Amino acid sequence: MALSRSIHLERVNQNSSASVRIVTVHGAMDRGGSFRALAKYLSPLEVVIWDRAGYAHSLDVAPANVENHLADLSEILDEKPAVVFGHSLGGTYALWLASLGHPNLLGVSTFESPLPGGGWWGEDWDVDPHEAAAGHVPRERAGDLAEAFLRRMISDPVWERLPERTKALRRTEGRAFLRELGQLVDGRISFDPSEITVDVVAGISSRPSHHHRFGLIKLVESIDVTSYCVPHSRHGAHLTNPQALAEVVVQQFAKVTQA
């Protein structure tokens, strides 16, 4: 099945006879390729990894807004039933779709996924979140903010070692990054967790931010959630602790496919 938009999509451990698979959804300023190690530990289960609009190989797919991210995920699920694993904002999209309902969505697994609210906007960014949500931030300013975000995430030394071409690409992704964070803040990402009826598993790192901790608490208070913590981890556990995350996803996959 070909998607209606030219989203870059890979099917890992592909098994055309498999009736159920796992679909991953990456967060802001990330890309599908960051799940390759996770997919390795999920073998032999079929795994879909994809670059959301505005990122990596889907850089030129527009518009990169929350409605289209959600529609792209829904269309991927139209192919066959799946458990969805979403990291960070990717998990937020998965939860949102679960609240709306999709016949092929069997379960959602998230890791440090934010819930809608204003606390995610950095006051020191000197950019209006509503302007960002509308895609009106100048390209150079968006690039500066994306670079600053990545420097905090991966450290200055790691950023400096990146090839110049990679740095330029990551800066270009800044427009999609700011747009979806602005939309998270201004209410365009909005759903009622109590509407979710599928199985939900939610993870957190051993050193979570205040916002990620609050998001998990709010989710647990809203619905029946299986929660877990990955020891000795940070927000990027899908890169540093993929085996631990894979074990959780496999357990959930077995649970929902045997129900």
Q: Is residue 63 located within the same domain as residue 86?
A: yes
CB 213 within 8 A of CB 190: no
Mean of pLDDT values over 59-72:
92
DSSP state of 9: E
pLDDT (tens digit, 9 = 90+) per residue, 27-55? 999 999 999 999 999 999 999 999 999 99
Interatomic CA distance for residues 55 and 172, integer angstroms: 9
Give the pLDDT confidence score for residue 4 in this predicted structure. 83
Last residue in a domain, options 181, 212, 231 = 181
Please give the C-alpha separations between residue 183 and each of 36, 44, 115, 179, 252, in angstroms, as whole numbers: 28, 37, 12, 6, 30
DSSP state of 206: S
For 35-74, b where at least 16 C-beta lie within 10 A, e where not — what string?
A: bebbbebbeebbbbbbbbbbbbbbbebeebbbebbbbbbe
Q: Is the pLDDT of residue 93 over 60?
A: yes
CATH number assigned to the domain comprising residue 247: 3.40.50.1820
DSSP state of 54: T
Query: What does the angle CA 41 – CA 215 – CA 221 come to, to the nearest 5 degrees?
Result: 105
Residue 1 lies in a domain: no
Interatomic CA distance for residues 102 and 130, integer angstroms: 30
Give the pLDDT confidence score for residue 130 in this predicted structure. 87
Q: Is residue 128 located within the same domain as residue 112?
A: no
Mean of pLDDT values over 76-92:
96
Q: Is residue 208 located within the same domain as residue 107?
A: yes
Q: Is residue 99 located within the same domain as residue 152?
A: no
Q: Is residue 110 located within the same domain as residue 231?
A: yes
Q: Is residue 51 located within the same domain as residue 151?
A: no
- Look at residues 201, 207, 212 and name the one whose alpha carbon lies nearest to residue 241: 207
Q: Is residue 44 located within the same domain as residue 155?
A: no
Within 10 angstroms of residue 197's Cβ, the number of other Cβ atoms is: 12
* Phi-psi sector, 228: left (phi>0), alpha (psi -120 to 50), beta: beta
Give the pLDDT confidence score for residue 1 in this predicted structure. 61
Residue 151 lies in a domain: yes
Q: Is residue 152 located within the same domain as residue 170?
A: yes
Residue keyed to tokens 């979140």: 129
CB 12 within 8 A of CB 46: yes
Q: Which domain holds residue 164?
A: 123-181
Last residue in a domain, options 181, 199, 229 = 181
Residue 206 lies in a domain: yes
Last residue in a domain, options 149, 181, 213 = 181
Q: Is residue 105 located within the same domain as residue 213?
A: yes
Q: Is the pLDDT of residue 250 over 70?
A: yes
Residue 158 lies in a domain: yes
Average pLDDT, the chain: 92
Residue 27 lies in a domain: yes
Mean of pLDDT values over 128-135:
88
Q: Is residue 85 located within the same domain as residue 166?
A: no
Give the pLDDT confidence score for residue 94 in this predicted structure. 97
Strand blocks (E) in the chain: 9-12, 21-25, 47-50, 82-87, 105-111, 199-205, 226-230
CB 19 within 8 A of CB 138: no
- Look at residues 127, 68, 60, 98 and name the one whose alpha carbon lies nearest to residue 194: 98
Residue 186 lies in a domain: no
CB 110 within 8 A of CB 203: yes
Q: Is residue 32 located within the same domain as residue 97?
A: yes
Domain count along the chain = 2
Residue 2 lies in a domain: no
Which residues does 198 contact at the CB level (< 8 Å), separation at least 6? Answer: 98, 105, 106, 107, 108, 256
Q: Is residue 56 located within the same domain as residue 138?
A: no
Residue 3 lies in a domain: no
